[in-house]
Structure 1
Amino acid sequence: MPRRRGVWRWVAISVLLGVIVLGIVGEVMVHRAGPILKGRVIETLSARFRSRVEMDDFQVSLLRGIEVSGGGLRIYAPDDVVAAGATEPVIAIKHFAFHTGLAGLFIKPMHVGTVHVTGLEIHIPPKQMRAQNTQPKRKRFGKMKIVVDEIVCDDSRLIIGNINPNKDPKDFELQHIVMQDVGPNAPWQYDATLVNAIPKGNIHAVGSFGPWDAESPGDSSITGHYTFDHADLNPIKGIGGMLSSIGEFGGQLNRIAVQGTADVPDFSLDTANHPMPLHTRFEAVVDGTSGDTYLNKVDAKLGETSFMANGAIVNVKGKGHIIDLDVDVPAGRIQDFLQLAVKTEPVIMSGVVGMKAHVHIRPGKERVIEKLSLKGAFGIQQIHFTNPKVQDKVDMLSLRAQGDPKDAKPGAEDVRSQMKGAFTMSAGKLNFSNLAYTLPGGNIQMDGVYSLDGAQFDFHGKVRTDAKISQMVASRWKSWLLKPVDPFFSKNGSTEIPVRVSGTKSEPKFGLDLRHKDKDKDNAGVVTK
């Protein structure tokens, strides 16, 4: 028994000494592992980005392998780019963490499966600053001592700077990113969810990024496929609908080419609140250095009408964007555009429209229709007015103009007319000039204004008819009475009558406009003198 007690006493002492030794070794390893790993992280990042790296906080635990966490990590641009004014870190990380085995302390490079990052901010300096980095020689910043398979980032931002004082930097909110195969010389595979500000919604993108261009980060390559679903347009004053878009993109961070489609099955303007299906297929270039988007080609379809457009969406600092588009409608349905923009129900007319127009939408918080201006020319064939009263007046005017007044009665056979002219639009009103309206037996030259709410309808001009005034009345004795009047309205072998069309959308009024005829006489007298 005394011998056994002696053996157990020595065993206990040995175990205790072993625990003390392990504790001392562990304490030494913890104290040494921190600086070693911190040095490896900084040296690896310096070598990867070829730049200065700073870190505020770094913690190591060896309880379950190697557990590392830290924060306040900053990676700067090359020195000459910093000297040019890019003083903010190119990459800043609020917090990061990763785990690996204890063997990682003794193996180089250390292998890390996943690094978790929160609060990542990537600041791409303006291109003009990056151009300062012209030194052919590269500083040596050490070797890559840590290899990472995957980086998972939450609550991140990508900010592409702009040296132009009139341009806001391009700011992307990145909700969640997973980057895989994070090597130094090959593209990184990523799966990202971006938050789009206007219209509000999440954009999901999958593709490849890199290799990272340490000297000029904005020139780093990026490719991918995106989906953008259920983006509500209603917060944009003046328009409504739910937007969905899919597409492909590729290029560099500061210049990305995009191809895709966008669908709004219930697109509407608040001037009418008549939802219309809108489908577009587009090719564009996003310039990250300015925040501008150049629409090289847009093929669109509104209702049953196809048209093309191209132009630019230009960023204006602190205000939003200017939208400039050139639109070409080769052969569309005028009723589709009227249904979208005008409250009148049903639309005032149907027909085949050809149009070329320049669209300008200035920045601001007003409704879209208040910021919208148009300028262009159009032609409409096969016009038919949906209001029977209006169409009857047109039909009867055509019969009288042909010298067939007896058949000029309500319910007469409908005629198809045509119209062409130039127009401008601002403040919700369409102003027409050189408006030529042609129908069997005559034509009308008019100028006027039409408000999109249908409340204002005022046109004046001249009607030229094949028939004389006396030939436009059915009564024989009235025709004889009007014969002396014919010479007063005769001009170049036809009859010219000043007319005015006014009233409202529901009650248009047609009548003589002798006031404008008198003005024409006065003007002619002035010219003669």
Structure 2
Amino acid sequence: MADGKDDFGMHSNRTSAVPRKRVWWWIGAGLLVCLLTLLVVGEVMVRRAGPILRGRVVETLQTRFHSRVELDYFDVSLLHGFAVTGSGLRIYSQDDVVTAGANDPLITVGQFEFHTPLRSLFVKPMHVGTVRVAGMTIRIPPRQERVADAPARRRRGKIEVIADEILVENSTLVIGTAKANKDPKRFALERIRLRHVGEGEPMEYEATLMNAFPRGQIHASGAFGPWNAEQPGESAVRGDYVFDHAELNSIKGVGGTLSSAGSFNGRLNRIEADGTTTTPDFSLDTANHPMPLATHYRAVIDGTNGDTYLQSVQAKLGGSEFTCAGAILNVKGKGHITDLDVDIPAGRLRDFLELAVKTRPPFMQSGISMKMHLRVPYGRESVTKKLEMQGRFRLRQIRFTNPQVQDKVDMLSLRAQGNPKDARPGASDVPSQMSGSLVLSRGQMTVSQLNYLLPGAQVALDGVYSLDGKTFDFHGKVRTAATVSQMVATGWKSFLLKLADPFFSKHGAGAEIPVKITGTEGAPKFGLDFGGGKKSEAAQEKDDLQSRRDELTPDGRIARHPSPGLPIPRSRR
């Protein structure tokens, strides 16, 4: 075996196995040392990278907002490069704003995270791809909480971190106001994507926010900034929005599904908006008759308190076009007040009656011109119960949908003209018009100075009408061109009534007869009213005074409305 062979003439493997095991042992030991070294190095890098990255984040935010920044938790791991997580981030307003009373943080972040490769640790500024943020609240203090003459105190520093994109989930924007009667304006922002987040440059954004009234999602995109750290409300904003499938039934008393689109531009405290709305099934709970409503509006929105000033609204309800202007004002702890001036130059009465009145078809059809002031005060009641209106109207080419009512009007006209023999059911419809003043409050309409003109007659009424159609109570006078005796077809009755002509012929009319219309919208009752509906002298004087006030012209003078003359019947010519 001196030559390395055993008794059978074979080489021994014992001497070669020992060195081979030693080689593998040294390889394993080396790998273990390398692994331990990497772990030690990684631990050292993480320990050093944590404070470095934390410092860069804080320095960047302090430089951007020129204010104090606090960060409760910050952690770095080596998963897929540097994985950074943090929570409890608070960014305060500038020192002078805090001194003026804005003690709450300007921005509060619940959690944030981002990833960055190892090499970015050695590059300044450090680039980060996407930062994910959750549970953020932005509080913009009112302008009055900033000391006007205080110099801007910019914190020295530089931008250490640049994010290509910021994704924010479930955030809230709160815009404060110093006005005692205003609530801070809150916006629930479900999702925001910010791009090109750089110093002194506008940020591109895509946002989804939930609108409370009417309830629905708004999708907006555009540009925001640059951020004005001294006066956040002065920060610029512009963009386009789409508001689809907004449920109007979130507003008590109103129904329908609204869609809107438009654009806006300005600053947070003054945003100019231009857009359109479409509601194919707009309805009020007094009637529940869906009607198509479309508008084009121009408005100025004060984002600091939620007040909206409608400069111009071009609207179309059914086949009626009208315009309005006014304001929707926020009242602290109460809700909103809607205050509008409405002008209907040439609409269709049926469109407005179908929207507001339960009875169908509407009891009257005509053209309508109206100027009115509309107000919806705050409160938990239905809009239709809160709605207040005051104005003047004129109806043209009136036709009553109830044949019996229309026949009575036609026969009244023929008798008033001195043609009683033609006054029978089925007579040709007569042209008529109506004008007057109305006041609507709590679902009840009070009509005054109602002047109804038809051939041969003038009807002057005052009364009350409820939108549910259950109350119809009007009293007044009918002035006719013919005398009482001329309105009767039977010869002997006409002869006997000649004795009564002097008692009814007043103020230049052939006859002046007190009348009343009572009952319900669907079944009105016509009759004479000898004293039953007569007002007291004091009440009449009060109504006359109120009507004179209602008729003030824009320069403060009393408007005069001369009564049109009545035609003289043929028998009296």
TM-score range normalised by the length of the shorter chain: over 0.9
- Find the counterpart in structure 2 of residue 19 from structure 1: 35
In the alignment, structure 1 residue 33 sits paired with structure 2 residue 49: yes
CA contact (8 A) 1:259 1:284 kept: yes
Does residue 390 (structure 1) correspond to residue 442 (structure 2)? The answer is: no
Question: CA 1:128/1:71 → structure 2, altered by over 3 Å: closer, same or farther?
Answer: same
Deviation for aligned residue 1:19: 2.8
Residue 467 of structure 2 corresponds to which residue in structure 1? 452
Match among 58, 68, 89 for residue 73 of structure 1: 89
Unaligned runs of 5+ in 1: 525-529
Question: Which SS does the other structure have where 2:449 is aligned?
Answer: strand
Alpha-carbon spacing, 1:464–1:153, altered in 2? closer, same or farther (3 Å): same
Residues 1:58 and 2:59 aligned together: no
Cα pair distance change 1:478/1:21, threshold 3 Å: same
Helix, strand or coil at the partner of 1:21: helix
Structure 1 residue 10 displacement after superposition: 4.9
- What residue number does 1:187 align with? 202
Q: For residues 445-480 of structure 1, what are the alpha-carbon distances to aligned partners after superposition, in whole Å with 9 as ceiling and x for unaligned?
A: 110111111111111111111100000000010000
Q: Which residue of structure 1 aligns with residue 142 of structure 2?
A: 126
User: What residue is the counterpart of 2:316 in the other structure?
Assistant: 301
8 Å CA contact 1:469–1:489 kept in 2: the answer is yes
- 2:539 & 2:180 partners in 1: Cα distance? 52
Give the match for residue 10 of structure 2: none
Matched residues in 1 for 2:502 and 2:82: separation?
107
1:49 matched to 2:65: yes
Equivalent pair of 1:47/1:141 in contact (CA under 8 Å): yes
Q: Which residue of 2 aligns with 1:312?
A: 327
TM-superposition CA deviations, 1:114-165 (whole Å, max 9, x none): 00000011111012113x2543443333110111100001001111011123
Partners of 1:81 and 1:133 within 8 A in 2: no
Separation (CA, whole Å) in 1 of partners of 2:150 and 2:142? 18
Deviation at 1:516, TM superposition (A): 5.8
Partner of 2:168: 153
**SS of the residue 1:16 aligns to:** helix
Question: What's 2:121 paired with?
Answer: 105
Letter in 2 for 1:92: T
Q: Compute the displacement of 1:214 (Å).
A: 1.1
TM-score of the superposed pair, with normalisation by structure 2: 0.88
Contact kept? 1:34, 1:59, Cα under 8 Å: yes
Secondary structure class of the residue paired with 2:448 = strand
SS at the partner of 2:48?
helix
Where does the alignment leave 5 or more consecutive residues of structure 2 unmatched? 1-15, 541-573
* Alignment partners' CA distance in 1, 2:33 and 2:415: 122
CA separation of 1:133 and 1:40: change in aligned 2, threshold 3 A: farther
- The equivalent of 1:464 in structure 2 is 479
Flag the 1:7–1:518 CA change in 2: closer, same or farther, 3 A. Answer: closer
Structure 1 residues 521 and 258: CA distance shift in structure 2, 3 A: closer
AA matched with 2:79: L
Instruction: Select which of 283, 291, 294 maps to 1:279.
Output: 294
Which secondary structure does the structure 1 equivalent of 2:446 belong to? strand
Distance apart, 1:25 and its partner CA: 1.6
One-letter code aligned to 1:16: L
Corresponding residue number in structure 1 for 2:379: 364
Pairing 1:512–2:528 present? yes
Q: For the residues of structure 2 that align with 1:500 and 1:240, how far apart are their CA atoms?
A: 36
Match of 1:527 in 2: none
Q: Say whether 1:265 aligns with 2:280.
A: yes
Report deviation, 1:523: 11
Give the alignment partner of residue 332 of structure 1, picking from 336, 342, 347: 347
Contact 1:268–1:340 (CA under 8 A) maintained in structure 2: yes
| Alpha-carbon distance between aligned partners in 2 of 1:333 and 1:271, rounded to the nearest angstrom | 19
Q: Offset of 1:517 from its aligned partner?
A: 8.7
C-alpha distance in 1 between matches for 2:338 and 2:418: 51
Taking structure 1 as reference, are residues 522 and 491 closer, same or farther at Cα in structure 2, changes over 3 Å only?
farther
1: CA distance between counterparts of 2:253 and 2:533? 41
Between the aligned partners of 1:277 and 1:204, the Cα distance in structure 2 is: 24
Contact 1:448 1:459 in 2 (8 A): yes
Aligned-residue offset at 1:8: 5.2
**Aligned residue for 1:170?**
185
1:210 pairs with 2:225: yes
Tell me if structure 1 keeps the 8 A contact 2:142–2:177.
Answer: yes
Separation (CA, whole Å) in 2 of partners of 1:297 and 1:47: 42
C-alpha contact 1:160 1:254 (8 A) present in aligned 2: no
- Determine the C-alpha separation between the residues in 1 that align with 2:506 and 2:537: 13
Alignment map for 1:240-255 (pairs within 5 Å): 240-255=255-270
* Pair 339,137 (structure 1): closer, same or farther in 2 beyond 3 Å: closer
CA RMSD of aligned residues (A): 1.8
Q: Distance in 2 between matches of 1:391 and 1:164?
A: 56
Does structure 1 conserve the Cα–Cα contact (< 8 Å) formed by 2:516 and 2:533? no
Paired letter, 1:69: T
Offset at residue 521 of structure 1 (A): 10
Say which SS state the counterpart of residue 185 (structure 1) adopts: coil
Q: In the aligned structure 1, how far is the partner of 2:21 from the partner of 2:361?
A: 108
The answer on whether the counterparts of 1:127 and 1:289 sit within 8 Å (CA) in structure 2 is no
Structure 1 residues 66 and 215: CA distance shift in structure 2, 3 A: same
Contact (CA 8 Å) 2:152, 2:230: kept in 1 or not?
Answer: no
Quote how far apart the aligned CAs of 1:23 are: 2.2
Question: Residues of 2 paired with 1:392 and 1:17: CA distance?
Answer: 111
Q: CA deviation at 1:519?
A: 6.5
- Aligned partner letter, 2:107: I
CA deviations on 1:226-261 (whole Å, 9 max, x unpaired) are 111111112322111111111101111122111111
Match of 1:484 among 499, 514, 519: 499
* Residue of 189, 214, 221 corresponding to 1:199: 214
TM, length-normalised to structure 1:
0.96
1:322 Cα deviation from its structure 2 partner:
0.6
CA distance in 1, matches of 2:284, 2:333: 25
- Post-superposition Cα deviations, 1:3-41, rounded to whole Å, max 9, x if no partner, equal 666665554444433333322221111111111100000
Q: Distance in 2 between matches of 1:515 and 1:63?
A: 95
Equivalent of 1:409, from 418, 424, 427?
A: 424
Q: What is the percentage of aligned positions where both structures have the same residue? A: 59
CA 1:522 to 1:357, structure 2 compared with 1: closer, same or farther past 3 Å?
closer
